[in-house]
Amino acid sequence: MKTMTQAPMIKLVMFLMALLLTSACSNARASSGVQVELSSQGDQLAFTQTTLQANAGEEVTVVFKNSSKALQHNWVLVKGDDRVAKQVSEKALAAGLEQLMIPAGATDILAHTNLLQSGETAKLTFTAPTEPGDYTYLCTFPGHYLVGMKGTLVVEP
């Protein structure tokens, strides 16, 4: 009788140990990514960092803080350089504030935060492009990109 109750118990313990091992592995994978932090430059229409780096296909976590007193900002990474950023900026303008300056279904946007109020912080995780190169990020709030609220994510091979 005793051995019959022990067998399922051993199976349960083994199952739990397997679970622990799997979660330990996935934690290790997550920590192999890169985390970058940037904010708006006070009340200026600029980011504190105009260059960010990541490896191709790497998991990137961006922590973006809107440190302005009254302005709204977002952080939008586009699938390409300044030419694509300009197009995204124009599409965002057409989308307007009702869509929070993010054009719906835009395939040239790789990752973006919400439109942040002053003092707000957003944390965003995405996979860096597998193709190395320079990718522009910008703020799509009307006028901000035009005066230079942008930067470059350099994706290394």
Question: Contact residues for Cu ion (CB under 5 A)?
Answer: 73, 139, 141, 144, 149
Residue type for 148, please? Answer: G
Instruction: Go through 56-93 and write b for each residue having 16 or more CB atoms within 10 A of its CB, e for each that does not.
Output: eebbbebbbbbbbeebbbbbbbbbbeeebbbebbebbb
| Shortest distance, position 10 Cβ to Cu ion, whole Å | 59
| Shortest distance, position 129 Cβ to Cu ion, whole Å | 23
* Of 65 and 73, CB closest to Cu ion: 73
Question: Residue 50: helix, strand or coil by DSSP?
Answer: coil
| Shortest distance, position 138 Cβ to Cu ion, whole Å | 8
* Of 60 and 139, CB closest to Cu ion: 139
* Of 43 and 131, CB closest to Cu ion: 43
How far, in Å, CA of 100 to CA of 46, rounded? Answer: 19
